[in-house]
Chains A and B, each alone.
Chain A
Amino acid sequence: MRRQHAVDIFMWVLCGIALALVILPAVDIILDVLIHSAGSWSLGLLTTTTFGEGGGLLNAWTGTLVLMFLLFLLAAPIGVLGGIYLAEYSSLRGARILRFASEMLAGVPSIVVGYVIYLVFVIVFGWSFSVLAGVLALTIMVTPYIMKSTEAALNQVPSNLREGGSALGLSHSLTIRRILLPIALPGILNGLVVAEAIGMGETAPLIYTAGWSNSLPTLQLIHQPIGYLTYAVWTYINQPSAQAHQLAYSAAALLLIFLLLLIGLSRWVGTRASRYTSRFQV
Chain B
Amino acid sequence: MQNDLTKNRSNGQQPAETFPTAVSPLQAETGPAKEIISRVRTTGLHVGFGPREIIHDISVEFPQNQVTALLGPTGSGKTTLLRTLNRLNEMSSGFWMSGRVDLDGRDIYQDFSDVREVRRAVGMLFQRPNPFPQSIEENVAIGLRAHHIVPAPQIHQEVERQLINVGLWDAVGDKLDESPFGLSGGQQQLLCLARTLAVRPEVILLDEPTSSLDPISTQRVEDLVTRLKEKVTIIMVTHNVQQAARISDYIVFLNEGSLVEANWSREMFINTQNHIVEDFLTGRMG
Contacts and interface: CB of A to CB of B under 8 A. Distances in A.
The 5 closest A-B pairs by CB, nearest first: A169-B119, A169-B120, A279-B181, A167-B124, A182-B133
A168 B119 contact: yes
A279 B192 contact: no
13 contacts: A160-B126, A160-B127, A161-B132, A163-B88, A167-B123, A167-B126, A168-B123, A169-B117, A169-B119, A169-B120, A169-B146, A183-B133, A279-B181
Nearest to B139: A276
Contacts of B123: 167-168
Nearest to A183: B133
B30 interface: no
A179 B132 contact: yes
A276 B133 contact: yes
Interface string A182-220: 110000000000000000000000000000000000000
Contact of B195 (A166, A168, A183, A280): A168
B179 A163 contact: no
Given A163-B126, A168-B146, A275-B179, 18 more contacts: A158-B130, A160-B126, A165-B132, A166-B91, A168-B143, A168-B195, A169-B115, A169-B199, A170-B116, A171-B146, A174-B142, A178-B142, A276-B135, A277-B179, A277-B181, A279-B182, A280-B133, A280-B179
Nearest to A168: B143
Interface in B136-176: 138, 142-143, 146-147
Contacts of B117: 169
A167 B88 CA distance: 7
A183 B181 CA distance: 12
B134 A276 contact: yes
A179 B119 contact: no
Contacts of B128: 160
Contacts of A164: 126, 130, 132, 192
Contacts of A276: 133-135, 179-181
Nearest to A181: B133
Given A179-B133, A280-B133, A171 B126 contact: no
Nearest to B182: A279
Given A169-B146, A279-B181, A163 B91 contact: yes
Contacts of A281: 181
A170 B88 contact: no
Interface string A131-175: 000000000000000000000000000101111111111110010
Interface in B180-215: 180-182, 192, 195-196, 199
B86 interface: yes
B90 to A, nearest CB: 9
Contacts of A170: 116, 142-143, 146
A235 interface: no
A169 to B, nearest CB: 4
A278 B143 CA distance: 23
Contact of A169 (B116, B126, B135, B181): B116
A125 to B, nearest CB: 45
A265 to B, nearest CB: 22
A178 B132 CA distance: 8
Residue from B91, B132, B181 having most chain A Cβ neighbours under 10 A: B132
Contacts of A171: 116, 146
A170 B133 CA distance: 15
A223 to B, nearest CB: 47
Nearest to B179: A276
B130 A160 contact: yes
Nearest to A277: B133
Residue from A164, A169, A171, A274 having most chain B Cβ neighbours under 10 A: A169
